[in-house]
Amino acid sequence: MPWRARSFWIAAIVVAYAAFAALRASGGRGPAWFALVGLPVLLAFGWRFTASLLDRGRAGRMGPTSGSEDHIDPSARSAARAAFTGVALLVAARTGPATDALIALGNVGAAIASLCALGALARVSGLGGLLEPPPTARRLDAVAFASVFWTVAVALPIASTASPERVAGLDPAIIAYATTTASLGSLAITVIALARTRSERRLELGVADRTEAALLLTLTTLTIGVLAALTGVASPEALLPVTSTIAAFCVAISVVTADPAALSRALRLTLALALLATPVALLAVYVVHESPMRLEAAERTWIGLRRTPVGAVVFVACAGCAAAGLFAPWLSRKFAPEGARWLRGLDAATRAALHPDPDTALETALFSLRELWGSRNKAPQRPLAEGFEKPSNPIGPALYRLAPPERITVDLAGYAHTERAEIPQRLIALTDGEPEGVLRIEVLEATQVRRPEVRPLITWLTERGIGCAAVIRDTTGAAGAIVLPRDGRDTPMSLEEVEGLRALADRLGAVISAAGMLARSREREMEIRSQLAQEKGESARLAQELAHGEARRRGIAERLARPARIGAYSPAARSAVDQIERLAENDRPITLLSAPGIDAVAWAALAHLGSPRSGGAFTLIDAATGAEHALAHWRDRTTSPMETARSGTLVVLDAHALPMDVQDELGTTLPPDVGLVVSVPQTVDVLVAAGHLSERLADRLGDRAVALPTLADRGEDLRALSLEHLARLGTRLRGRPLGLDLHALSMILEYTWPGNDAELGAVLLRAVLVTEGDVVGVRELAAIGFQAATTAPDLDLPDVTSAPPRRRRSSRR
């Protein structure tokens, strides 16, 4: 952790001192408070970022992260941390007024950042392999040159602060000139050092990616800083040290980043955004700085807004930057090596290798690679080394296998060709020692003087026009290699491309392994093919029977639920339907509070259809009949309603009428694959208190109760219900549907229907029996003794809307 390192506390104290000095100089106000509190925290993040993989693993109480080897030089980490400290020191100094003391502190921070970044660059490490860094790579000459500039830039403000009388005769602007000169000189040295490192170590994977990223970021920062100074955003002596420090920060980040490939991807997107948005932003700044108030005198600005030129400029600049950002991903791909052509090709080949058939996967992967060397994408051919001739028949992308020794290629038409060929064992051995297991011919050519044993391998690769090779491994070891031609590109492969080739090789290894397993399984497949056909036929027949049975059972439930769906327009009916469907979806027991005369079966069927078991059995039990009161009947394995309702729904009407021992049996032994719906006249707690319902069944039911609406609450539904009854009765008794006149309908609507559905059906049946025409009217209703009433007779019916339960029950399911 950062606080365990002595270097962190030293850096934090230095930065805190600078922030305190800025805070004191600014009178205790301003952003110096942020520097005093926030910069040490940011330094802790910097220390954490530069920690080695082993330290990060220990901090997380585990081994090294990612299981990868840490290639970053410890001295480079220390230099990067010092550079971060210099950046923080400059920021802390800039939060106060521009006094000579704070200028000196800022220049010290910029000097530390620049010099330490150059030191980290001299210690940048590659990923290993045959290549070794040249002796000049670790020289610190760039640090020595940059220190000359910063010595003057630091000494002058210190002297002005400590002994102002000694520098009284100097030009007051000499400190600004020294600071500007040191910043520009440091930036120039940084650019030269990066370019030299990139040129000398361009073949080292990781180094080339890091230095290229640092170089481009430094050039971008320098360009933006110079343009900002030219447009008058700030004075050069104030802006260029910041530019130099940002460039040093970018170099330090590039050197110690754990994943150089991710750094390259982030770099491309950053450059694209900077290239698109910087001109718009600088133009807006220039307009605002040049004429911030002059345009306010005009009646209207150029976009039609009154007296708001600054706001208009800011708005247009933000819109331009946002529009430019839309093109950043497209432009970032243009910055990729070879225009991202190889990255796209390798990614396409890896996706093609995902085909389930191994042979087809190999062919499509090789064909996707071959498209990289098409006539439209072919790059200029690179010259061959002295003593080698151009291969007469370059093989193109190919797959070498060790057992059997063969080479697989694909022609332009996409057809695979296999021929006998052997791959040198030396190539396998050398490839294993290279980063990502990829051997490049440029590396062999660069090391052939120091290692003459690689020359025969160079000859073998050159004769076949091979530029790189990646070993393919399966579950038993090396299985072959995937090789790519040397022609088609004029730059060395980047780490991203090497990682893409490694991913393709790993995928092909899995394909080859799968091909071997498939070959061994084909014999077993032929033996069971006939048996499989028989099993498929039997499975199809059973599936058809099951589907037919589910459809039949669902159809029965649909017919039973039809009375509950007809005329469900009233709020009470809709609320009951919604509650039942919601509870049924959760697959929990449902209690229906049913008043006398309500068809509880229809509502129970509605709950069954809304449950996950809608295709299962719909078992209906009327507890009011004595046939269901025998405990042995419920315990019988063949006749028990709980067994017949397996994978379906068990509906118990008037569950309180069951004996207590049967209720206990139902509450404790109900199978988990059976849904339960019961209808009772009162709430569960009321029935338990009255001794009509057992505690075990009450615990099973819980408090999920739905009060079924009475006809008195369904005034909006009475017309539809009455017409449906008359249509059904008329068709059954007269051969044609019957209607209902408005006066008779008014009488029905005014009646409170204490008997609910049963009473309505009985009244309409008697009316149909005395009706001579096609319409039931007032005369027919009067003939059967029906009279409208605004209140129902006092029948002392049980209250199904009693008070809420006094205790909450939870189901055991």
**Residue 404, domain CATH:** 3.30.450
* Residue 766, domain CATH: 1.10.8.60
Q: What are phi and psi of 416, to 5 degrees?
A: -85, 145
Q: Which residue reads 């099973």 in tokens?
A: 700
Distance CA 267, CA 219 (A): 12
Distance CA 513, CA 164 (A): 79
Distance CA 651, CA 733 (A): 32
- Which residue ranges of the chain lie beneath pLDDT 70? 1-3, 52-70, 166-172, 231-233, 264-265, 267-340, 374-395, 488, 789-813
CA-closest candidate to residue 309, choices 332, 328, 290? 290
Domain boundary among 309, 335, 361: 335
- Give the total number of structural domains in the chain: 5
Structure tokens at 148: 């000359």
Q: What are phi and psi of 598, to 5 degrees?
A: -80, 135
Residues 6+ away with beta carbon under 8 Å from 413? none
In 285-412, the DSSP E strands lie at 398-401, 406-410
Inside any domain, residue 73: yes
Q: Are residues 561 and 609 in contact, defined by beta-carbon separation less than 8 angstroms?
A: yes
Q: Are residues 197 and 207 in contact, defined by beta-carbon separation less than 8 angstroms?
A: yes
Inside any domain, residue 813: no
Give, as one character, the DSSP assignment of residue 737. Answer: -
Inside any domain, residue 38: yes
User: Residue 476, CB half-sphere, CA atoms under 13 Å: how many?
Assistant: 9
Inside any domain, residue 340: no
* Residue 671, domain CATH: 3.40.50.300
In a shared domain, residues 176 and 296: no
- Residue 481 parent element (H or E): strand 477-485
Q: How many helices (H) and strands (E) does the chain have?
A: 29, 13
In a shared domain, residues 234 and 269: no
**pLDDT at residue 22 in the model:** 84
For residue 404, is the peptide bond before it cis, meaning its omega torsion is within 30 degrees of 0? yes
CA-closest candidate to residue 763, choices 788, 731, 798, 791? 788
Percent helix / strand / coil, the chain, rounded to 5: 60, 10, 30
pTM: 0.56
In a shared domain, residues 313 and 198: no
**pLDDT at residue 380 in the model:** 42
Sheet holding 618-622, edge to edge: 618-622, 649-653, 675-680, 590-593, 705-707
Per-residue pLDDT tens digits for 42-72: 888 888 888 864 455 444 443 333 345 667 8
In a shared domain, residues 612 and 661: yes
Distance CA 607, CA 652 (A): 13
Amino acid in position 663: Q
Inside any domain, residue 60: yes
Inside any domain, residue 543: no
In 233-310, the DSSP E strands lie at none
In a shared domain, residues 616 and 639: yes
Structure tokens at 671: 């199978």
Inside any domain, residue 506: yes
Residues 6+ away with beta carbon under 8 Å from 59? 1, 51
Inside any domain, residue 539: no
User: Residue 458, CB half-sphere, CA atoms under 13 Å: how many?
Assistant: 20
Helix (H, G, I), strand (E, B) or coil at 401: strand
Q: At what angle do helices 6-25 and 32-49 cross, to 10 degrees?
A: 160
Domain boundary among 258, 291, 315: 258
In 632-687, the DSSP E strands lie at 649-653, 675-680
In a shared domain, residues 591 and 646: yes
Q: Are residues 744 and 778 in contact, defined by beta-carbon separation less than 8 angstroms?
A: yes
Distance CA 702, CA 802 (A): 16
In a shared domain, residues 247 and 329: no
In a shared domain, residues 290 and 395: no
Distance CA 760, CA 786 (A): 11
In a shared domain, residues 278 and 393: no
Distance CA 782, CA 787 (A): 7
**pLDDT at residue 789 in the model:** 58
Give, as one character, the DSSP assignment of residue 373. Answer: G
Domain boundary among 233, 258, 283: 258
Distance CA 73, CA 58 (A): 19
In a shared domain, residues 701 and 728: no
**Domain limits at 753?**
714-783
In a shared domain, residues 107 and 231: yes
In a shared domain, residues 55 and 177: yes
- Exposure letters 696-714 (e unless 16+ CB within 10 A, then b): bbbbbbbbbbbbbbbbbbb
